[in-house]
Structure 1
Amino acid sequence: MPLLDHPIIVISVSDDTRAALAASLHAFDVEIVTCATFLEAEDLALKSLYCGILVDLPSIVKAKGEEKIVACSLTGFFPTLRVRVMGTMLIPMTMPGAAKQENSLNDFINRACYNFTARQLRAHHRHVIGISVATRFAESETRAFTLDISWGGAFIVDFNPERFSIGDELTVFFQEPGCEITATVCWKQSWGLRHAPGIGVHFREITPCLSEFLLRLLKHAKDHDRDRLVA
């Protein structure tokens, strides 16, 4: 049985280097996907779950413009091992500050990736904006507000989140534009912790009314508001 439940992304602009990186992982019995660019890797990570990234350092250094922004976002999101390839040898590169990493490929696989809960990139940037909403669930309507919102969903503050289960559907009414949509509960945060209690929801649809409102509110079109870090 494979050590990891989900693949590792291997990235290099060089065909030979990419092949060497992939070959180095064969002994660990892990599933991999290979990419020539960070943009290609981002597209994959938006659609499926991954455990980590193995990348050659020159590909990061040479990345420019949008590629550099995406490289920063991916390596900040997933466990990452940055290496130089010398023939068949992989040499982990010591990284400063927040970019610290494991000292060997074995530790990267067996510690960093193994202990990381496989994740999928969030498609849209979360904006910390509070707006008035009302939720309707199980024949009960509750006044609430958002802690953050994006083109894909929102975190709605609710003082009784325990009544929801992951996968539940509810109706969300937006006070300002006066429209409502169906949403699905993706996660919840219980009352009594050092966080605002509530539910994270995914919008099942974006109606024309909500689309116009979000465009005014977020100031970015849906296709140009990806969840990326600033390089």
Structure 2
Amino acid sequence: MLTAFISSRKKYGTAERLSIAEWAANVWQAYKRAFLSLFMPVIILGGIYTGLFTATESAVVAVIFALVLGMFVYRTIKIRDLPGIFWSSAISAAVVLSIVGFASVLAAALSLYQVPQKTAALIFSISRDPYVVLLLVNVLLLVIGMFLEAYAAIIILAPVLAPAMLLLGIDPIHFGIIMIVNLAIGMVTPPVGVNLFITCSIARISLEQILRPLVAFVAVLLVNLMLITYVPLLLK
């Protein structure tokens, strides 16, 4: 909805008025064209939840499925296109892994000097009220998510914060969701926003170009985070 609103305000592309019947017909045609492609999330999530393969293996299966569709069903990918596709993928992966590598070094340094533990202790020394603590923990996770890779932040912070959350009577699953959403927001915020670098690499734009339009989307994510934090009934 936010994307549609911004596109309308900025007048991206062309727009035309359609009747409900015309709109429904267009949607149906698009659905028929995309029917096989829509199985991608079904294969990924279905395979993970049924235990057929891990999250990493699901990515491989998804790539193979997309390649088969592109080459033999939609015929948009030719054999001569494969070297360029593989090279582009390797470049994107190299960018991400470089960021992950440097973030891991930073995570090791922070862990060595016990920065997360000291910060958590400071938070709990300020207040014991669950609402206040959750707000402070959200701020902590948002800041850390800007500098650390999600998996590194989880390894370092989860053993520190989870027991304290239990003592405050906060459901561990609820806190786990809060933590994951926080760190996911960190993946689209600089300076170590992995998803930002991937997007810039694909769109061939600079990080500076994407920052201003990003503000509106981050604001929506922060509202969602507050709802998840303080209205846990939404998760049931």
What's the TM-score bracket when you normalise by the shorter of the two chains? under 0.3
Compute the TM-score of the two structures, normalised by the length of structure 1: 0.25
Indicate the structure with greater helix content.
2
Structure number having the greater strand percentage: 1
Q: TM-score, normalised by structure 2?
A: 0.25
